[in-house]
Amino acid sequence: MATTSKPQYRVIGTRPVRPDGIDKVTGRAQYGADIRLAGMLHGKVKRSPHAHAVIKKIDVSKALALAGVKAVITASDLPEAEDKVQSLGESSANLRELSSNVLAAHKVLYRGHPIAAVAATSAQVARQALELIHVEYEVLRPVLDVREAMRQDAPLLHDGLRTRSSGGASERPSNVAAHTQFRFGDIEQGFAAADVIVEREFATKMVHQGYIEPQAATATWNADGQLTVWTSTQGAFTVRAQVAEVLRQPISKVKVVPTEIGGGFGGKTVVYLEPLAALLAKQTGKPVKLQMDRTEVFEATGPTSGTSIKMKMGATKAGKIVAAQAELAYESGAFPGSPVVEGSLTMLAPYDIEHVLLDAYDVVVNKPKTSAYRAPGAPAAAFAAEQAIDELAEKLGIDPLKFRLQNSAFEGVRGPLGRPHALIGHGECLEAALSSPHYNAPLEGPNRGRGVASGYWFNAGMRSSATVTLQPDGSVSLIEGSTDIGGTRASLAMQLAETLGIEYDDVKPSVVDTDSVGYNDVTGGSRVTYASGMAVHEAGLALQREIIERLTKHWQCAREDIEYGDGTFRTKDAAKQGTFKELAGQLLGRGAGIMASGSVQAGFGSAALATHIVDVEVDPETGKVTVLRYTAVQDAGTAIHPSYVEGQMQGGAVQGIGWALNEEYYYDDSGRMANSSFLDYRMPTALDVPMIDTIIVEVPSPVHPYGVRGVGEVPIVPPLAAIANAVYRATGVRQTQLPMSPRRILETTLGIE
């Protein structure tokens, strides 16, 4: 459903077949675990069985003596890392902490923390060697809850960690790494003007991205000092930078080859295995491959934060939200760096609220270091804010969608960073939801409820580069460096075809290694179709200029006498003309090939917003929540490939359903994750979700040549709150903790424990 007029495009808005589809469905595509090199050794990682302990001694002598073992490394083999922060695209990492997460030196901070790594002639021998590595620990009491970790008497993870805030660093060490405050207006004045106030506390558990493919990395380190790494990653260039920094190597000596990726959702932006594979390859002189099993993925890679949020919101009788105050505490895992700031900036961004006070706390706990997960920080924040909004609407007797529309942000209203919003489509999403078949359908039967919620995510820009080459047959090779997770080969090829006025099938896109294209930031932040699309558009225009330059000599005329449109070059007097394909053969037969490049540093100029509607039924005997119907409404700006936009909307909704109803990291008191398998970590299957209906709203972004807004992340923001609001309508009891599992529903609605 389009709500605004838009240009008529030839290629954009169609639904062509994805270029990598055949290779993936036939098994020819190479993923991280598929890499096979001559003489390759197999690596395995020794991990801590404790959540919090001092490493007293590591003895690797017996492991080294085992037949078939070629190398064993510990933290002593890593060079000392610098104490500086490096951007990872959607997140950032302190290099010293990143190195400590790759291999623990003096202290383990979560169960699964790497202690040592082995390279051997087979995976079986490597596993045997791990058992022969003796580690002596002094076990310490872990802290596993964000609020407990904030207490002054809590066990300290880092003796030197001080709370950073606008006033400087705290005098005493603390598990609170940072306190950030956002203040607009006068919060006391705002609540004084409110006729209705709601105040609640909310909590969510740590959850994992749930990508199908575990991490895998293979490395060779040649005698000339050249290191090559093959890895499953969302960002080859950020992996290159991290490996170079952790191993203290010149970046020119590191090449990263991105394999196809079996999902990431933000979780594959940080290095885990890559430096280990590289060090083992250097020591052995052989290629070394490491890959995780599913338990390692759960226990030792980056899930998203568990959270605790205190929320207070007030509105007038007329239905205007006048004040919002929140305290957000997010778990960052073993090292600082939770997405609590992003959560704070997004939680109220869809709305026009004059008086706001937000306090954000980044807190370390004895769990794996968190990583980005699809709109990092935003879903948990929306879980709190959108329930408060829903409760205000109910108290005021206003339809929940109309209440949101009445308070919606729009162009010119203060945005999350304090600057005015550019053109955004939240109001259009709400109007589309209000008029949707779903919202206007009756919901009949007992124990059923309907909930709604909105969500916001930034449209990250960052750096993108692309190179295009004209071939003699008139086709164009597109070289880009952004890992293709959701169909970006197709979306970029479509934008290039539109720019050049040629057919989609005449563009041949390729994702290449870090030596073969200019710099590209991660595939994340909803940025690739948006920012890399800008780079591709720029490259396409540059290619047009290069062709015209060649034609001035071929046709013996001035540049300004040549026009291009509808796939045809012609002189203004129409005396000479030729199609893109016709002229390609003629021009390339008369000289060198024609190439052009595009490179952009795109800004955060385009926001994504969505509104979701969900119907649920709650079984009063078992507490099971069944999702009956689900509709996702989202502003895509311009839907380049509508099928892929719909797929992103549906995928985000399904992940949100799992997060809302079933998924959680469940720890015992010692810090052991008790459900580190897909058997026990309950992700939804096709049997657990209905078909997800989608409504694409198109309010073109004013800062993109084709009006694109990123679509990949905002779909996971509304589901948690929308489902909680639906469960409340079905049961009369508001759910303030996730997951809303059968057990929790029974405990809260019937008092059964």
Boundaries of every domain in the chain: 21-28+461-602, 307-369+404-459+604-749
pLDDT at 411: 95
pLDDT tops 70 at residue 451: yes
- pLDDT tens by residue, 161-194: 999 999 999 999 999 999 999 999 999 999 999 9
| Confidence (pLDDT) at 380 | 98
Is residue 4 over pLDDT 60? no
Question: Do 21-28+461-602 and 307-369+404-459+604-749 agree at the fold level?
Answer: yes
Residue 97: per-residue pLDDT: 96
Residue 2's pLDDT band, with cuts at 50, 70 and 90, is very low
* From 21-25, 55-59, 196-200, the region with the lowest mean pLDDT: 21-25
pLDDT-derived band at 751 (thresholds 50, 70, 90) equals: confident
Closest CA to 502 of 11, 9, 3: 11
Fold of 21-28+461-602: Aldehyde Oxidoreductase; domain 4 (3.30.365)
Longest dimension (CA), the chain: 87
User: Which distant-in-sequence residues (6+ apart) come within 8 Å of 751 by Cβ?
Assistant: none
**Rounded CA gap, 663 and 744, in Å?**
13
The predicted-structure confidence for 681-702, as pLDDT tens digits, reads as follows 999 999 999 999 999 999 999 9
CATH 3.30.365.10 applies to domain 307-369+404-459+604-749: yes
The residue count for the chain: 753
Distance between CA 383 and CA 381 in Å, rounded? 5
Is the pLDDT at 642 greater than 50, yes or no?
A: yes
Helix (H) or strand (E) holding 584: helix 580-588
Residue 674: pLDDT band by 50, 70, 90 thresholds? very high
Question: Is the C-alpha dihedral spanning 257, 258, 260, 261 positive or negative?
Answer: positive
536 exposed, middle or buried (CB, 10 Å; 0-12, 13-18, 19+)? Answer: buried
* pLDDT > 90 fraction of the chain, expressed in percent and rounded: 93
Computed over every residue of the chain, the mean pLDDT equals 96
For residue 273, give Cα distances in angstroms to 227, 291, 296, 459: 14, 8, 11, 30
d(CA 459, CA 481): 19
What's the pTM?
A: 0.97
Distance CA 342, CA 330 (A): 11
54, 107 Cβ separation under 8 angstroms: yes
- Please say whether the beta carbons of 721 and 387 come within 8 A: yes
Assess whether pLDDT exceeds 90 at residue 120: yes
CA-to-CA separations, 185 to 324, 359, 406, in angstroms, rounded: 11, 15, 20
Please work out, in degrees rounded to the nearest 5, the angle formed at the alpha carbon of residue 733 by the alpha carbons of 208 and 620: 85
pLDDT, tens only, 538-549:
999 999 999 999
Residue 499, CA distances (Å) to 300, 537, 542 in order: 44, 6, 10
For 198, 312, 456, 724, 730, the CA distances from 391, given in Å and listed in that order, are: 7, 11, 20, 11, 14
Report H helices in 435-573: 437-440, 488-500, 533-554
Average pLDDT over residues 451-467: 96
pLDDT at 89 over 70: no
Contacts of 574 (CB under 8 A, 6+ apart): none
pLDDT of residue 466: 98
Q: Between these two residues, 479 and 7, which has the higher pLDDT value? A: 479
166 Cβ contact list (under 8 Å, min separation 6): 180, 181
> 501-516: per-residue pLDDT in tens?
999 999 999 999 999 9
pLDDT at residue 703 greater than cutoff 90: yes
